[in-house]
Amino acid sequence: MSITTAPEPVLARPMTTTRRWQTGLILFGIAMLVVGAIVLLNDVAPKNYIGIAIWFLGALVIHDGIAAFAIFGVSILMRRASRKIPFVVIAILQGALAIAAIFFVIVVPAMLKKDIGSANTSILPLDYGLNLVLFYAGLAVVTAAAIAGYLVVAARNRSRA
């Protein structure tokens, strides 16, 4: 009869720097959620909770159902259209599309509210539609400049090699 011993438990590995950052960011995010919930409960009237929930649901649908799908679709089309488009160019375009979607979600409610009207005309005094179009034009220029800058640097690095 032999005596067998139980295997020694595997000691937890020391945390890597990446794991520490992940843990810290997760804890920070949870803390911010708690702060947001406290502020919501203290500063917002319960009758407004339904409107806030509808806004969050709309933002979720716009982000996950429209924006993320469109950005992913553009990425797939660009990769299939030409195998010669560098990944960095696709990433720059994806970033520009994400910024455009975020501004759309932020500005369109202000545009709609301005069209509905308000008792205080100084609350929404600007032409938000025009400003959104101008922002998109500026974003297109900055995106084109970033892509052109990358392509110039990449060509210069290729010619050196």
Q: What is the pLDDT of residue 113?
A: 81
Q: What is the pLDDT of residue 84?
A: 80
Neighbouring residues of 40: CB distance < 8 A, sequence distance ≥ 6? 52
Q: What is the pLDDT of residue 66?
A: 87
Q: What's 148's DSSP letter?
A: H
Q: What is the pLDDT of residue 116?
A: 81
Q: What is the pLDDT of residue 67?
A: 87
Q: What is the pLDDT of residue 114?
A: 79
| Residue 110 burial (10 A CB sphere; 0-12, 13-18, 19+) | middle
Q: What is the pLDDT of residue 3?
A: 66
Q: Strand, coil or helix: what is 84?
A: coil
Query: What are the average pLDDT values for consecutive 10-residue runs of the chain, which has 161 residues?
Result: 62 80 96 95 92 88 86 85 83 92 87 79 82 96 97 92 77
Distance CA 140, CA 137 (A): 5
Neighbouring residues of 15: CB distance < 8 A, sequence distance ≥ 6? 23
Q: What is the pLDDT of residue 8?
A: 62
Q: What is the pLDDT of residue 106?
A: 87
Neighbouring residues of 132: CB distance < 8 A, sequence distance ≥ 6? 103, 104, 107, 108, 111
